[in-house]
Structure 1
Amino acid sequence: MSERPSAGPLVRRTPRALTADDRPVRLPHAEFDGPEARFLGEPVARDLLPPEAADVWEACDGTRPYRSWPSPQRELIGRWHAAGLVVAAPPPRTAPSRAPVVLSPHPDDAQLALGGLLARCGGRVVDVFSHETWTRRPYYQSRPALSSRLLLAEERVACGVLGVGLTVLGHTDAADRAARRENFFLEPDAEDAAAAGEPELFGRVTADLAAEVSGADLVLVPLGVGGHVDHVLTRRAALELLVRGELEPGRVAFYEDMPYSLFADAWAVAGRLPAGLRPVVVPGSEEAALTKQEALWPYRLQVLEAVTRRIVRYGRGLGAAGFAERLWALPESAGAVAELASAGPAC
Structure 2
Amino acid sequence: MVRRTSHALAADDRPIRLPHTEFDGGEVRFLGEPVDPELVPASAAPLWHACDGTRPYRSWPPLERELIAGWHAAGLVVAAPPPRSSPSRALICLSPHPDDAQLALGGLLSRFGGRVVDVFSQETWTRRPYYRSRPALASRLLLEEERVACGVLGAELTVLGQVDAADRSAWREGYFLEPHDMDAARATEPELFERVTADLAVEVEGGPLVLVPLAVGGHVDHVLTRQAALELISRKVLEPERVAFYEDMPYSLFADAEAEAGRLAVGPGPTGLVPVLVPASEAAVRTKQEALWPYRLQVLEAVTRRIVRHGRQLGAPGWAERLWVLPESADAFGELASAAADEAAAAG
Please report the TM-score for the alignment, with normalisation by the length of structure 1.
0.95
Question: Is 1:209 matched up with 2:190?
Answer: no
Does residue 29 of structure 2 align to residue 38 of structure 1?
Answer: yes
CA distance in 1, matches of 2:190, 2:136: 27
Q: Which residue of 1 aligns with 2:328?
A: 332
1:242-253 equivalent positions in 2, closer than 5 A: 242-253=233-244
The aligned counterpart of 1:299 is 295
Residue in 1 that maps onto 2:343: 345
Q: Specify whether residues 97 and 173 from structure 1 end up closer, same or farther in structure 2 by C-alpha distance, changes over 3 A only.
A: closer
Q: Give the stretch that moved more between structures: 269-278 or 61-70.
A: 269-278
Segments of structure 1 that go 5 or more residues without pairing to the other structure are 1-9
Task: Give 1:127 deviation, angstroms.
Answer: 0.2
Cα displacement string for residues 168-224 of structure 1 (whole angstroms, at most 9, x for unaligned residues): 000000001111132100011110121010011101000000000011321000000
Listed as ranges, the matches of 1:47-58 within 5 Å are 47-58=38-49
Q: Note if contact 1:283-1:320 (Cα within 8 Å) is conserved in structure 2.
A: no
Taking the aligned partners of 1:235 and 1:129, their CA distance within structure 2 comes to 13
Rounded Cα–Cα distance in structure 1 between residues aligned with 2:197 and 2:243: 15
Q: TM-score, normalised by structure 2?
A: 0.95
2:184 is the alignment partner of 1:193:
yes
- Aligned counterparts, 1:215-226, within 5 A: 215-226=206-217
Pick from 313, 318, 332 the counterpart of residue 317 of structure 1: 313
Q: Is the 8 A contact 1:80 1:86 kept in 2?
A: yes
Q: CA deviation at 1:320?
A: 4.1
1:28 aligns to 2:24 (yes or no) = no
Residues 231-280 of structure 1 deviation map (CA, whole Å, 9 limit, x = unaligned):
00000000000000000010000000000000100011101113110001
The aligned counterpart of 2:304 is: 308
1:21 shift after superposition = 0.5
Alignment of 1:1-347 (within 5 A): 10-96=1-87, 98-274=89-265, 275-343=271-339, 344-345=342-343
Q: Distance in 2 between matches of 1:152 and 1:319?
A: 31
Give the % identical residues: 77
Contact kept, 8 Å, 2:16 with 2:53, in 1: the verdict is yes
Q: Partners of 1:199 and 1:231 in 2: how far apart?
A: 15
Is contact 2:315-2:321 (8 Å) kept?
Answer: no
After superposing on structure 2, the runs of 4+ consecutive aligned residues of structure 1 that deviate more than 2 Å are: 94-99
> In the aligned structure 1, how far is the partner of 2:214 from the partner of 2:180?
15
Q: Secondary structure at the match of 1:179?
A: helix
C-alpha distance in 2, partners of 1:296/1:45?
Answer: 24
What residue identity is the alignment partner of 2:162? Answer: H
Give the corresponding residue for 2:268: none
Give the aligned residue type for 1:110: A
Quote the Cα distance in structure 2 between the aligned partners of 1:54 and 1:271: 53
Q: How many residues align?
A: 337
> In 2, Cα distance between the equivalents of 1:189 and 1:36?
53
Output the CA distance in 1 between the equivalents of 2:89 and 2:307: 26
Note the residue ranges of structure 2 that are not aligned, 5 or more in a row. Answer: 266-270
Distance in 2 separating the partners of 1:11 and 1:17: 13
Pairwise CA distance, 1:123: 0.7
- Note closer, same or farther for the CA distance 1:80–1:27 as it changes in structure 2 (3 Å cut): same
2-structure distance, mates of 1:254, 1:224: 9
Counterpart amino acid of residue 323 in structure 2: L
Q: Is the 8 A contact 2:5 2:73 kept in 1?
A: no
- 8 Å CA contact retained: 1:252, 1:329: yes
Q: How far apart are the structure 2 equivalents of 1:48 and 1:337?
A: 45
